[in-house]
Structure 1
């Protein structure tokens, strides 16, 4: 019992170092989400740490809706899914790799869920684009467990060239071009963003959308030199309207999230009425507080990439509840055993948010 307690405490310690931020930003009253002019054939996802788990869970559950997913610094779909202790012992470095979770169990789960019609047909994954980024110095997620994200998807893909795995000499973080400490340093005090002279946001979206558009890199492109940062509008939106029972404790979702609408996706500037791309990014543990989330969002690189390439980007937020005090996305059953399926409480909320933007939900 002492070792189990030790693991849980370590999870709390490593994820709580980013909560205290002296930067306070005024947040305008949340808007009600509405339909936007976005492409339905190129909706993409990404996530960091627990957000990576959420991204792959949503991707597998509703694969007919998506074009691809980018996964940063986390183990594979449903690794150690029954409790945080199981994940800690079998999917993280805290367990010392004594009894690692076999990704083939997760493949079995996916096939079982498909048979039960709890997820979309797995054949939808055949042509999807998958981007996996790993820090080989990651303090929490073993390299081999993160690498098995690719193995999981290789089971269902028709072309392995659609899967890209990138390994950096980096800690547990989301890589940026210029924010935070060096890539090989602890990123906990910088909302788990690291200065790797490399934009994970651009690399991910360029790979996911390269068959749809020429994705500009705003961090090196001369085409962007005269465009100021964040020309678009970053707005809070009311997330609680999507709750099944408006119960924060059940869903562990915050009352608001953020949406970024690039200038050229706004009707008054989009004269040609050309549809934009839609991307959804999921934060990591203890990035749930709106002020912390804003620091993550503004420095992650996603906004500049969105501006340069007309990508409307949504940042849903969790919250902390008694069963999840670190505000992680559910990757260990705290909202129920079907968390990684269409019946998952958080998945249902985010799917409704996407449907509203696509015009499928009034």
Structure 2
């Protein structure tokens, strides 16, 4: 029998707090030579993964999207973001509907950005492999929005390269096979035990057959690194002073032959708010240990009344260029991946 979610989470927080008390030394992000860059995310992190994968499609091989929507869904408008691309204003004001994001218009916008060189050519998307997950009970990003995302991707990606899972009675959370709240619960740390290994399913879809994930605690190294190197004064632009990198034992050194995956957390899911639950328990690290995958966990931060919940910028709370290559947060994370990949900036 599963233990009650509040008790389980309280124990987890206590354990993580004790580990954190030892203190971590903040260091520069190491230079590595990984390859095969992929991205994933939940909620605002899902929107960030979509726009990162589309904008830098020449550098990315695939994406895993949990509870997100089409590229530039908000069009930089907060009301649209909260009522059409999600239901964060609450049910009475929610205007989510089938086709409500206007996929044809977003496809045209994507083409315009590509023609102007603001994002990579959309032809690169044809080789991407994309895994989608929408919970049947998701009250924050309802399935209609995810259905629009699938329709958006089908304009650019062959249908056989898209996997869409929408058969789980899950609320708005990262699905896990062993950690977190009950699957129908909405709340911190926004990871839920749904008997679904979301991280494993998306990584296997993107990269193909993988070795079974390592059991037990992660055996790799967690590196807390300075994000200000990639975005000066990050807290003035919705990013935290530090982010996290997970390096499995087989990727120590320069990581030659290893893959790189960027895992974007959702709103209210930063290390400052959930004691590194996303970094340590979203499900990626066991797969990383067994399959030589370095995992980058960049961190967002609150930005006053514009972004009180530490979301990624997918609705122009900081930057009108939020969805293109020149966007502050976009470029910062891209520079991180360049530091970590073959041929990147050293």
1:251 equivalent in alignment to 2:258: no
Gaps of 5+ in 1: 1-17, 219-223
SS in 1 for 2:206: helix
The equivalences for 1:60-75 within 5 A come to 60-75=54-69
- What TM-score does the superposition give when structure 2 sets the normalisation length? 0.88
Task: Note the C-alpha offset of 1:86.
Answer: 1.8
1:54 equivalent in alignment to 2:38: no
The one of 201, 205, 210 equivalent to 1:203 is 201
Indicate conservation of the 8 Å contact 2:190/2:269, yes or no.
no
Task: Note the C-alpha offset of 1:83.
Answer: 2.7
Matches of 1:317 and 1:32, distance apart in 2: 15
Give the 3 Å change call, closer, same or farther, for CA 153–353 of structure 1 in structure 2. Answer: same
1:217 equivalent in alignment to 2:190: no
Task: Note the C-alpha offset of 1:291.
Answer: 5.8
Indicate conservation of the 8 Å contact 2:57/2:122, yes or no.
yes
Deviations along 1:69-112, whole A, 9 cap, x unmatched? 11001222111232322212212234433673212221121111
Question: How many residue pairs get matched?
Answer: 323
1:166 equivalent in alignment to 2:157: no
1:360 equivalent in alignment to 2:344: yes
- What TM-score does the superposition give when structure 1 sets the normalisation length? 0.84
**Residue 78 (structure 1) aligns with:** 72
Indicate conservation of the 8 Å contact 1:260/1:313, yes or no.
yes
The equivalences for 1:179-194 within 5 A come to 179-186=179-186, 188-189=187-188, 191-194=189-192
Deviations along 1:287-312, whole A, 9 cap, x unmatched? 22446251122111111111111100
The equivalences for 1:292-303 within 5 A come to 292=274, 294-303=276-285
Deviations along 1:207-235, whole A, 9 cap, x unmatched? 0000xxx31232xxxxx46xx42110011
Indicate conservation of the 8 Å contact 2:135/2:169, yes or no.
yes
The two structures, once aligned, show a CA RMSD in angstroms of 2.0
SS in 1 for 2:133: strand
Matches of 1:182 and 1:291, distance apart in 2: 20
SS in 2 for 1:319: coil
Q: Displaced runs of 4+ in structure 1, greater than 4 A?
A: none
SS in 1 for 2:300: coil
Deviations along 1:128-178, whole A, 9 cap, x unmatched? 101111101001112111122111111012x21100000121110100011
Matches of 1:92 and 1:320, distance apart in 2: 19
Matches of 2:148 and 2:24, distance apart in 1: 41
The one of 235, 238, 243 equivalent to 2:223 is 235
SS in 1 for 2:58: helix
The one of 323, 331, 338 equivalent to 1:340 is 323
Matches of 1:173 and 1:349, distance apart in 2: 26
